Amino acid sequence: MADKITPRETNYSQWYVDIVTNAKLADYSPVKGCMVIRPNGYALWEKMQSILDRMFKETGHRNAYFPLLIPESFIKKEAEHVEGFSPELAVVTHGGGDELDEPLIIRPTSETIIWSMYKKWIQSYRDLPLLINQWANVVRWEKRTRLFLRTTEFLWQEGHTAHATEQEAKEETLKMLFVYQKFVEEYMGISVIVGEKSESEKFAGAVKTYTIEALMQDKKALQAGTSHFLGQNFAKAFDVSFQNRKGDLEYVWATSWGVSTRLIGALIMSHSDDKGLVLPPKIAPVEIVIVPIYKNNTKSTVIIYAENLYNSLKDKFSVIFDDDDQNKPGWKFSEWEMQGVPVRIEIGPRDIKKEQIVVARRDTGEKINVKRNSAEEKIRTLLEDIQNNLFRKSARFRQENTYQTADYNEFKEVISQKGGFIQAGWCGSAECEKKIKEDTKATIRALPLAKEETDRRKCIICGREAKYTAIFAKSY
């Protein structure tokens, strides 16, 4: 059979599309730019949700749900916010057969509706902090869409918090940024740069935007999560104030932070190979698949042996026993590899004789023989090993594709020939940032929080004193 997945070398974009469709993660919808998330893709999202949701709750947040439809006037209340989002709004003009008095927008994000409610809920410092998260869908009318990475409608979570002091809101912003970092690195196995966004790249309406940036296999950057310090911008726009202990009225300080189904795209482009999806065990909906191998005369023996193993594992792992009689083992191997299952167990008559099982790992393709009586322990270790290996690979990849330069010609050379992250000095001016973008298509992905010792004290463009060490890259 012909290969279903276009090799990365041949066409990286097509490879990505092939992975998504062949692993049955998503499919195109009848509406342009929208996608259907299929059970395999949705199971991934549910897994991410459950881990993140736990982390949000551990940091004191509660879930709520705000409406999909927002009065058009709300979005216009914050100047930068409206400017940023106007081009990508979907607007509802009719309802129940009649034209609406005021058009409704479908939320592109929920700051405005949430802050209109916070106005009602916050009067006193005793009402603060208010720590709310919501899991929702949002719609942004995009010119160019790509499965998971940028679709017209997508799923995400958005945290919206209100605080009595600037300091506390800033701490919250960073706290959640680090929650994202932990989640993406420890669970998704993706190494990220943690940093602040430049003025031109920050969220419309934010005072400061922070980001975790990952590097995909094609050496392009992907913003994997953002956390914003909103200052008092929305509090002022929606007149949300509180009385402090002294009885004075003050505006509330705000944050918002989100990750989306785009993370699934990041996951695919970080770990997967030409055989299909590769999933880190901690995020894999199915950790183990057992494939029995038999001839007619050995079938019952093998099935019983395999079923026995399945029963001993099923309470400890997420495991599937693929006893489908229609497909041959080779077909199953390919299929489960395509779907990214981290560990495959093969059991045939030869193994039963030796009281062993064959264990194949998805990340390296390596097969090992494991004694039946130590199976559980070995598999547990192996899953951990795969998880660690994927993260190490991701970290090494990012490191190996991060360059440092103080010379603009070299900068341009690296961006166009190699890709990856480039660390360089930046004076902080929008002009220099713009020039780089025009020359090379690279943007500032982050101003890393971890200040590394560098000797790049000059701006890569203008040669003036550098205020920042910036990470540049072409991005999604």
Partner RNA sequence: CGGGAUGUAGCCUAGUGGCUAGGGCGCCUGCUUUGGGAGCAGGAGAUCGGAGGUUCAAAUCCUCUCAUCCCGACCA
Write out the residues near RNA by the rule CB under 7 A.
1, 4, 11-14, 16-17, 22, 28, 31-33, 84, 87-88, 140, 142-147, 149-152, 154, 201, 203-204, 223, 226, 260-262, 275, 293-296, 299, 325-335, 337-338, 346-352, 358, 360, 365, 367, 441, 475-476
* CB nearer RNA, residue 130 or residue 288: 288
Residue 282 Cβ vs RNA, minimum distance, rounded to whole Å: 22
Shortest separation between residue 167's beta carbon and RNA, angstroms: 26
Min dist. Cβ of residue 133 to RNA (A) = 16
Q: Which two tokens stand for residue 34?
A: 């929208």
| Alpha-carbon span 472 to 456, nearest angstrom | 14
Tokens (6 digits) for 147: 């499965």
| CA–CA gap between residue 180 and residue 49 (Å, rounded) | 12
What is the phi-psi region of residue 366: left when phi exceeds 0, alpha when psi lies from -120 to 50, beta otherwise? beta
d(CA 183, CA 395): 15
What size, in residues, is the chain?
A: 476
Can you tell me the distance from the alpha carbon of 316 to that of 242, in angstroms, rounded to the nearest whole number?
A: 50
Nearer to RNA by Cβ, of 37 and 128: the residue is 37
Phi and psi (nearest 5°) for 74? -60, -45
Are the beta carbons of 187 and 283 closer than 8 angstroms?
yes
Q: Minimum Å distance from CB 195 to RNA? A: 14
CA 298 to CA 340: how far, in whole Å?
Answer: 29
Of 62 and 441, which CB lies nearer to RNA in the complex structure?
A: 441
* Of 196, 303, 235, 201, nearest in space to 77 by CA: 235
- Cβ closer to RNA: 172 or 213? 213
Nearer to RNA, 9 or 58 (CB): 9
DSSP state of 460: T
CB of 373 to RNA, least distance (A): 17
Q: E strands of 238-366, at which residues?
A: 241-243, 249-251, 253-260, 288-292, 319-321, 343-347, 356-361
Task: Measure the CA–CA gap between 433 and 442, rounded to whole angstroms.
Answer: 9
Cβ at position 244, least distance to RNA in Å: 33
Q: CB nearer to RNA: give 172 or 201.
A: 201
Contact 26, 274 (CB under 8 A): no
Least distance from RNA to the Cβ atom of residue 175, Å: 20
Rounded to a whole number of angstroms, the minimum distance from the CB of residue 460 to RNA is 19
Of the two residues 226 and 394, which places its CB atom closer to RNA in the complex?
Answer: 226
Our CB check for RNA shows the closer of 3 and 166 to be 3
- Give the helix ranges, DSSP H, for 108-217: 111-121, 166-182
**128 or 345: CB nearest RNA:** 345
CB of 46 to RNA, least distance (A): 17
Based on the number of CB atoms within 10 Å of its own CB, is 147 exposed (0-12), middle (13-18) or buried (19 or more)?
buried
Is the Cβ–Cβ distance between 256 and 159 less than 8 Å? Answer: yes
